[in-house]
Amino acid sequence: MPGEIVGIDLGTTNSACAIVEDDGNVKMIPYRGGETTIPSIFAIDEKGNELVGHEAKRQWLLNPRRTIYGAKRLIGRDYQSGFVKKMGEYFAYEMKPGDQGNVIIPIDEAQYNLSQVSAKILNTIRTVAADYLQKPIAKAVVTVPAYFNDRQRQAVKEAGKLIDLEIIRIINEPTAAAMAYGIRQNLNQTVAIYDLGGGTFDVSVIEIRGRTFEVKATGGDIFLGGIDWDNALIRYVIEDFQQKHGVDLTTDPIAMQRIKDLAERTKIDLSARTEAPFSIPFVTMTPEGTPLDINMVITRDKFQELTEPLVKRTVEIADMVVKDAGLGVHQLDEILLVGGQTRWPAVQKAVTEYFGKPPAKSVHPDEAVAVGAALYAHSLDTDAVDQKVQLLDVIPMAIGIESASGDMVEVFKRNASVPNAKSLDTTTSYDNQEEVQVRIYQGDSRRAKENDLLGEFEFSGLRPGPKGSVNVQIVFDCNVEGILTVTAHDKDTGKSMETTVRVQSTEAV
């Protein structure tokens, strides 16, 4: 299908879309009211209507169990994992295990997996863009967090397939931000991208040489983000209330929802002013029926004190990534800030102190990722050689196989560059063995089972022969998107073996 190619930042909290127009300018696609971001939220209202984006967000507080937010945190994850359990504490909607161990969200009679939810969001983005541009959208470059593993990446691709949107490339968010910053500047610089979003924190170090982008190292914390700032304020307010009135608000879900909502707004206010009121009239009642209010003023200084450990932690992680890249801070030419929570002044101050220079002004924290994706999409779509971009990325966690003793035998190390291919030789362990099985994992734990299972591969059709006489070479090919393909062949005859994959994308429907 002919059509336009766009860049999409499929975010945890908000998503955005951008395009390179015919005149070469990059344009953020505006949504109704001129906003350039759309909440990544999908809901079913009481009448059974599907709502996406602003409409879904508007009714969220009234309809929390039928409003799916944070889908990106669950996509490609195992239902049984500790991560999903932890997320369940934050989410008001129900989750259950799907056929392939994935997460399913039931609403009424329907069962949604996370690729389907993401597909709804992608589809709305595409419709808004097509209406705005008055042209169909056929293809997209979609960004994902650098720490996404193979399964999470596959699940995002799957979301595109479900709505017939060709995701021509998945790229990492920090890489996209670096492209927004440097693709047209003919730079020779090494930059650090400090990305603090709603739920996660990421740092990448990227070398830019003209139109070549080479990621040197990446790292982060998947449990550190704006929500932790909100929670610090929520805890403070609740403790204050307990002290004043002897009432524990945590047992009152409606009061908690109102506090959460106001906490985020107050936090955002405090980025721009030195104090903000925190008032909720009639937040609860005493057992005798007397209404109680929250009536506080939060100062920026107080909030800074409450959240100082969070800021400190981001700097420690940044330091680790810079060291992983084999560099010292003074070797970094620029620092790019991405993600809404980087607007917090104490973050900017800490970044300036650690890196010894203020962050670059030219990068828009909410738009850089979509803009970079659009620029990269444009470069992939053009025949002009001077527009081509070369990208060398890294994988965020090791990829390896399980040994007989259950250890992780690393095939690619953490921060190994991609595209990359490696092979592993093995041989038959009994006479006339017909097949070889390997389990592939991704993660940094020494024990394979503590990492994420990417797939169980079975290679069949081995030549009959005594044990040890048939040599099998398994080739692991990781493309620039961080997506893995595994094949095997008989080393002596060159003959390829048939491959069956048991679990690959758990999101496959």
Helix (H) or strand (E) holding 364: none
* Residue 506 in the binding site for ligand AMP (CB under 6 A): no
Contact 162, 180 (CB under 8 A): no
Six-digit token string for 255: 């009061």
* Residue 40 in the binding site for ligand AMP (CB under 6 A): no
Catalytic residue among 150, 158, 173, 402: 173
Catalytic residue among 72, 120, 139, 267: 72
Draw the binding track, 401-420, toward ligand AMP (x: CB under 6 A; -: no contact).
Answer: --------------------
The owner of tokens 């006339």 is 432
Integer Cα distance of 87 and 361 in angstroms: 34
Q: In what order do the strands lie in the sheet with 452-460?
A: 408-412, 399-402, 435-442, 452-460, 498-501
* CB closer to ligand AMP, 79 vs 344: 344
Which residues, numbered 178-197, are part of the site for ligand AMP (CB under 6 A)? 197
* CB closer to ligand AMP, 70 vs 219: 70
Which residues, numbered 208-227, are part of the site for ligand AMP (CB under 6 A)? 226-227
Q: How far is the CB of 363 from ligand AMP (least distance, A)?
A: 13
Q: How far is the CB of 49 from ligand AMP (least distance, A)?
A: 26
Q: How far is the CB of 15 from ligand AMP (least distance, A)?
A: 9
The 3-state DSSP class for residue 486 equals strand
The 3-state DSSP class for residue 366 equals coil
* Residue 113 in the binding site for ligand AMP (CB under 6 A): no
Which residues, numbered 221-260, are part of the site for ligand AMP (CB under 6 A)? 226-227
* Residue 54 in the binding site for ligand AMP (CB under 6 A): no
Q: How far is the CB of 351 from ligand AMP (least distance, A)?
A: 14
* CB closer to ligand AMP, 143 vs 271: 271
Contact 197, 300 (CB under 8 A): no
Which residues, numbered 334-373, are part of the site for ligand AMP (CB under 6 A)? 339-341, 343-344
Q: Could you tell me which residues are beta bridge partners of residue 418?
A: 393
Which one of the spans 43-51, 135-143, 264-272, 455-463 is the region binding ligand AMP (CB under 6 A)? 264-272
Six-digit token string for 436: 């070889």
* Residue 442 in the binding site for ligand AMP (CB under 6 A): no
Choosing from 4, 6, 10, 13, the residue that interacts with ligand AMP (CB under 6 A) is: 13
Integer Cα distance of 155 and 149 in angstroms: 10
User: Cβ neighbours of residue 2 under 8 Å, at least 6 residues apart?
Assistant: 136, 138
Q: Which residue is nearest to ligand AMP (CB)?
A: 226
The owner of tokens 């009481």 is 46
Draw the binding track, 274-313, toward ligand AMP (x: CB under 6 A; -: no contact).
Answer: ----------------------------------------
Which one of the spans 52-60, 179-187, 235-243, 265-273 is the region binding ligand AMP (CB under 6 A)? 265-273
Catalytic residue among 4, 9, 150, 202: 9
Q: How far is the CB of 317 from ligand AMP (least distance, A)?
A: 17
Q: At what angle do helices 345-355 and 300-324 cross, to 10 degrees?
A: 40
* CB closer to ligand AMP, 152 vs 420: 152
Active site residue 72: yes
Q: How far is the CB of 271 from ligand AMP (least distance, A)?
A: 3
Active site residue 57: no
Contact 4, 377 (CB under 8 A): no
User: Cβ neighbours of residue 47 under 8 Å, at least 6 residues apart?
Assistant: none
Contact 241, 294 (CB under 8 A): yes
Choosing from 126, 169, 258, 267, the residue that interacts with ligand AMP (CB under 6 A) is: 267
Nearest to 416 by CA among 216, 143, 175, 209: 216
Q: How far is the CB of 11 from ligand AMP (least distance, A)?
A: 5
Q: What is the DSSP letter of 225?
A: S
Catalytic residue among 4, 150, 158, 195: 195
Peptide bond into 419 cis (omega under 30): yes
For residues 467, 470, 471 and 476, what is the CA-based torsion angle, rounded to 10 degrees? -100
* CB closer to ligand AMP, 227 vs 497: 227
Choosing from 166, 221, 264, 456, the residue that interacts with ligand AMP (CB under 6 A) is: 264
- HSE-up of residue 30 (Cα within 13 Å, Cβ side): 4
Integer Cα distance of 39 and 60 in angstroms: 11
* Residue 12 in the binding site for ligand AMP (CB under 6 A): yes
Q: How far is the CB of 355 from ligand AMP (least distance, A)?
A: 20
End-to-end CA distance of the chain: 23
Contact 53, 41 (CB under 8 A): yes
Six-digit token string for 192: 């650090």
Size of interface with ligand AMP, in residues (CB under 6 A): 17
Residues at the site binding ligand AMP, with contacts judged by CB under 6 A: 11-14, 197-198, 226-227, 264, 267-268, 271, 339-341, 343-344
Catalytic residues: 9, 72, 173, 195
